Structure 1
Amino acid sequence: MKIAAFNVENLFDRPKAFNLDDHAKGAAITDAVAEINVLINKDEYSAADKARMLVLIGELKLTSSNPPFVNYRKIRGAFWKKPRNGPMEIVANGRGDWVGWVELKTEPNNAVAVMNTGRVIKEVGADILAVIEAEDRVALMQFSEQVLKKLGGAPYDEIMLIDGNDQRGIDVGLMVTNGYSVGLMRSHIADMLPNGERVFSRDCPEYQVTTPSGETIWILPNHFKSKFGGNDQGSIDKRAAQALRTAEIYETLRAAGHDKVVVLGDLNDTPDAGPLQRLLAQTDLKEITDHPSFSPGQFNGIGTYSTGSKAHKIDYMLLSPALYARVTAAGLFRKGAWTASGRWDMFPELEKDIHAASDHHLIWVDISD
């Protein structure tokens, strides 16, 4: 049984802001969109809310006839007024006065990059694949049935994705094949923090997977809050809350007698980072990079992102003890990631950075029957 996790960074369409060379600028744009949508959805707008929305409208260039990175959707009512001789003002007093929102513009991914994503997935050949940053279930199905087929691979038999909390279209999904099947599913998009915010930036779904031999394995794909953005402390606190809740979900499964559990995906922080310790150090989960059979490939580093250095270890494969004891091999698949310094072999079709399947390296594990 081969299990893998891969952050594909969107399959077909990707927010334009994500493609900026200046990642901090892109993060600032996506954070501004998230913030203004939170303010827009308030029942009543305070003077401070209105002042902040005016700032964000300016930053996102919403009053432009063609904002560069976002679309402004207004369905009914008036949100703002821009007098000919005077400053712009927010005329709506709350959500009930108008219907509208702000969304990120998308653009098609580079066609070569899409095919290289398919090459990564085809060559690894995982029976159970957690996909991070997929647009939606339809995109996953089209990718499986069209891209994998064109490359000579077999489409996945079952594909599941529950739309999560992120309005940018970056969700976590699951694909299974070779006689594996998905049974019970449980979403945690509605788990709440004491301050009324949702815990998960995307979701921490629980998927019950049945193997061809009849075993039951629980798969928990994850994508924690990114480090990018202006409020770094807020991001740290958010990741800590997500690690805590994921640990609680895992422990609930274990208490119910389920001894075969996998927590995997992009946790957006390093193994020694404080926010992750509730999950990494205070449960009995075992990280696959610690297993004697783990091989990082040509480049001797455990990093799963960008250059592959230790500081770039942010993707994880965490196994319950019963599964960890059955590991026969594990590693990182890097051929779809760009390296300017030749740290690892790349697909021949990956001729420049824009052709990369992802900035992330696929992480995988083989488990004996």
Structure 2
Amino acid sequence: MPELRLATFNCENLMMRCDFRRAGIANARQRLTDVDNALVAEHVDSVFDVLSEDDRTLTAQALAATGADVCALQEVENLVTLTAFDTRYIARWAGQPFGARVLHEGNDSRGIDVALLSRLPVVYQRSHARRTFGALGVTPPPGQTINDYAFRRDCLEVDVAKDGRALTLFICHFKSMHGGRRKTRQVRLAEAAAVRQLVRLRFERPAEEDWVVLGDFNDYREVDGHPVGHSGLGPLLDDGFAVDLAPHAIPDALDRWTHHYPEDDTYGALDHIMLSPRLAAQNPAPDTRIIRAGSPYHAARYTGPRFPGIGWLDPKASDHCPMAATIKFEGRALSA
């Protein structure tokens, strides 16, 4: 049975800083965003100073520390930025770039997208950014209609392959809690229902297949180690449609946080890896780690070693911690 190391990481505003004078290209930022071919992106990135050196060095260190073969990313501006991050920063700390890079432009007004880095072949990819609530048969949240897009960013569907078998990933970044968790919860509930529908459209019997839903869901089922009430994750988890990996693999509830909110000093699990029921049964105790060495010192619950250069609030790898797990899967056989 194939095995891979899978991670998810919100990189926190992995965005370019263009030197427009040196580039000498009109509408340079928009033209970079329009690049959707990975081979083209490899030739474009050398023209621009795209990343903040201190933060992105730490971000790359945190990602390299996961040991991941495949990593789902959130808050990446475009394919050029992703390429530069992989070839300039990841390669430095991991010894080589991931190589396979996937990003499709989504719906976020800031231009932050979900993405994939993979050392394994990507055999299928599809963006669902333009899927509407009506097209998916999902009831829209208050204030929206069936003609509105179901995802605030995207749900990126990707198949990665190993040893002749393919595993399907659904990469998400749900609506933030800005404006209040309770007030924004209905949007996340609708997004979760839309993801569930995508899984059902892909698999006739979802519980009997191997798939993973992962990313930054901007909601939690426990905070500071204590269970909380309703969350925006209900359509995916409440009836066992998927299995949340962290409670499945990390017994100590106080050790499952992936995000520290400094303004009220709370620790919550906003980032999730959710396994199909069959995949969870195949992985009763997967090796799962949350990498916190890139966290700022303000996240005082973490008392372990940190990367050199970490500050009180900044620099840091991200305001999120990457989560990684080693997963065995049967998946589906690739045709010869």
Contact 1:307 1:339 in 2 (8 A): no
Call closer, same or farther: CA 1:335–1:191 in 2, change over 3 Å: same
Q: Does 2:198 align with 1:239?
A: no
CA offsets 1:220-261 (integer angstroms, 9 cap, x no match): 11000011037963x222111101111111223331677110
The amino acid across from 1:166 in the alignment is: D
Q: Does 2:311 align with 1:351?
A: yes
Which of 154, 158, 163 is 1:203 aligned to?
154
CA offsets 1:312-335 (integer angstroms, 9 cap, x no match): 111100011232233331121111
Query: Where does residue 71 of structure 1 map in the other structure?
Result: none
Q: Does 2:132 align with 1:192?
A: yes
CA shift, 1:109, in A, is 6.0
Call closer, same or farther: CA 1:307–1:231 in 2, change over 3 Å: closer
Q: Map residues 58-77 of structure 1 onto 2, 5 A cutoff.
A: none
Once residues 12 and 293 of structure 2 are traced to their aligned partners in structure 1, the CA distance between those partners, rounded to angstroms, is: 16
Once residues 256 and 155 of structure 1 are traced to their aligned partners in structure 2, the CA distance between those partners, rounded to angstroms, is: 36
Q: Where in structure 1 are there 5+ consecutive unaligned residues?
A: 15-106
Q: Does 2:174 align with 1:248?
A: no
Once residues 81 and 316 of structure 2 are traced to their aligned partners in structure 1, the CA distance between those partners, rounded to angstroms, is: 19
Once residues 231 and 60 of structure 2 are traced to their aligned partners in structure 1, the CA distance between those partners, rounded to angstroms, is: 35
Once residues 359 and 206 of structure 1 are traced to their aligned partners in structure 2, the CA distance between those partners, rounded to angstroms, is: 25
Query: Where does residue 218 of structure 1 map in the other structure?
Result: 168
Q: Map residues 238-277 of structure 1 onto 2, 5 A cutoff.
A: 238-255=187-204, 259-271=209-221, 272-277=229-234
Question: What's the TM-score once normalised by structure 1's chain length?
Answer: 0.67
CA shift, 1:353, in A, is 1.7
Query: Where does residue 7 of structure 1 map in the other structure?
Result: 10
Query: Where does residue 27 of structure 1 map in the other structure?
Result: none
Query: Where does residue 43 of structure 1 map in the other structure?
Result: none
Query: Where does residue 96 of structure 1 map in the other structure?
Result: none
Q: Does 2:127 align with 1:182?
A: no
Contact 2:258 2:267 in 1 (8 A): no
CA offsets 1:113-166 (integer angstroms, 9 cap, x no match): 110001011121201100011111111111110112233521012000111011
Q: Does 2:295 align with 1:333?
A: no
Which of 136, 140, 144 is 2:78 aligned to?
136
Contact 1:335 1:344 in 2 (8 A): no
Greater relative contact order (Cα 8 A, min sep 6): structure 1 or 2?
2
Once residues 229 and 13 of structure 1 are traced to their aligned partners in structure 2, the CA distance between those partners, rounded to angstroms, is: 27
SS in 1 for 2:82: helix
CA offsets 1:47-76 (integer angstroms, 9 cap, x no match): xxxxxxxxxxxxxxxxxxxxxxxxxxxxxx
RMSD: 2.6
Question: What's the TM-score once normalised by structure 2's chain length?
Answer: 0.73
CA shift, 1:8, in A, is 0.2
Call closer, same or farther: CA 1:274–1:10 in 2, change over 3 Å: closer
The amino acid across from 1:176 in the alignment is: S
Which of 314, 322, 328 is 2:270 aligned to?
314
Query: Where does residue 259 of structure 2 map in the other structure?
Result: 305
Once residues 108 and 162 of structure 1 are traced to their aligned partners in structure 2, the CA distance between those partners, rounded to angstroms, is: 18
Query: Where does residue 287 of structure 1 map in the other structure?
Result: 244
Q: Does 2:104 align with 1:155?
A: no
Query: Where does residue 63 of structure 1 map in the other structure?
Result: none
SS in 2 for 1:355: coil
The amino acid across from 2:95 in the alignment is: G
SS in 2 for 1:335: coil
The amino acid across from 1:265 in the alignment is: G
Q: Map residues 158-169 of structure 1 onto 2, 5 A cutoff.
A: 158-169=100-111
Count of residues in correspondence between the two structures:
270
Query: Moved runs in structure 1, 4+ residues, more than 6 A?
Result: none
Contact 1:332 1:364 in 2 (8 A): yes
SS in 1 for 2:114: strand
Call closer, same or farther: CA 1:153–1:331 in 2, change over 3 Å: same
The amino acid across from 2:154 in the alignment is: D
Once residues 5 and 256 of structure 1 are traced to their aligned partners in structure 2, the CA distance between those partners, rounded to angstroms, is: 25
Which of 272, 279, 285 is 1:323 aligned to?
279
Identity of aligned pairs, percent? 28
Q: Where in structure 2 are there 5+ consecutive unaligned residues?
A: 18-48, 135-144, 222-228, 330-336
